[in-house]
């Protein structure tokens, strides 16, 4: 099984990259769970982030500058309860997915103890998974989380970001095709 981590500087295209991977997986009929985080802008200025669950399309604020919360990072109020609610919807059916995508493991998300526990769990289930990782946290991954599966870390740059979704797709599809073969072999016995 493979666990793929994608990191890079802010604004490099980590979310765009993994969303393209999500679209390719869906195009080939794979069931994909997880979430992505999209920035929200008003008048050209970033006002917050929305978290979007990939399977059912559930969506809510992760953080913004207009509402208040007891959690705050920089100018953003972080809504841990809303993140936890999205995690609950994924957690109940996590082993039914062919692949998982989580965007992102970052300072806002790590405020949630449920998120930390959940990510640790995803690292140890036999489902191919892609994670985006905030650049400040990428060096701490091994200290924070443990996995028994193969790990691959890709650093997104302006030179490789166009081709990276295909590279990730190829790595995932190798495992997904092997899983389908194993399921077919078990069923035909």
Only one residue has tokens 């998300």, namely: 109
- Mean local confidence (pLDDT), 15-38: 96
Both tokens of 9, joined, read 């500087």
Question: Rounded distance, CA 187 to CA 25, Å?
Answer: 23
Are 130 and 100 spatial neighbours (Cβ–Cβ below 8 Å)? yes
Please give the order of strands across the beta sheet that includes 45-53. Answer: 71-73, 76-78, 59-64, 45-53, 32-42, 99-105, 129-134, 2-8, 150-155
Both tokens of 136, joined, read 């400040």
- Mean local confidence (pLDDT), 143-149: 67
Q: What is the pTM of this model?
A: 0.89
Per-residue pLDDT at 82 exceeds 90: yes
pLDDT band at 96 (very low <50, low <70, confident <90, very high): very high
Q: Among residues of the chain, what percentage have pLDDT more than 90?
A: 76
- Mean local confidence (pLDDT), 70-92: 96
Question: Rounded distance, CA 52 to CA 35, Å?
Answer: 5
Q: How far is CA 44 from CA 25, 41, 104, in A?
A: 32, 6, 23
């Amino acid at each position: 099984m493979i666990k793929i981590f994608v990191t890079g500087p802010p604004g490099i295209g980590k979310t765009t990259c993994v969303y393209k991977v999500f679209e390719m997986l869906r195009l080939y009929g794979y069931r994909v769970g997880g979430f992505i985080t999209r920035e929200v802008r008003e008048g050209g200025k970033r006002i917050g982030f929305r978290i979007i669950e990939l399977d059912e399309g559930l969506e809510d604020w992760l953080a913004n500058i207009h509402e208040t919360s007891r959690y705050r990072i920089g100018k953003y109020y972080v809504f841990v309860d809303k993140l936890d609610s999205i995690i609950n919807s994924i957690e109940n059916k996590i082993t039914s997915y062919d692949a998982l995508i989580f965007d992102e493991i970052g300072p806002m998300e790590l405020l949630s103890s449920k998120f930390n526990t959940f990510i640790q769990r995803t690292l140890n289930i036999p489902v191919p998974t892609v994670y985006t990782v905030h650049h400040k946290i990428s060096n701490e991954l091994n200290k924070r989380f443990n996995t028994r599966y193969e790990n691959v870390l890709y650093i997104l740059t302006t030179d490789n970001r166009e081709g990276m979704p295909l590279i990730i797709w190829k790595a995932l599809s190798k495992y997904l095709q092997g899983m389908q073969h194993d399921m077919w072999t078990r069923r035909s016995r």
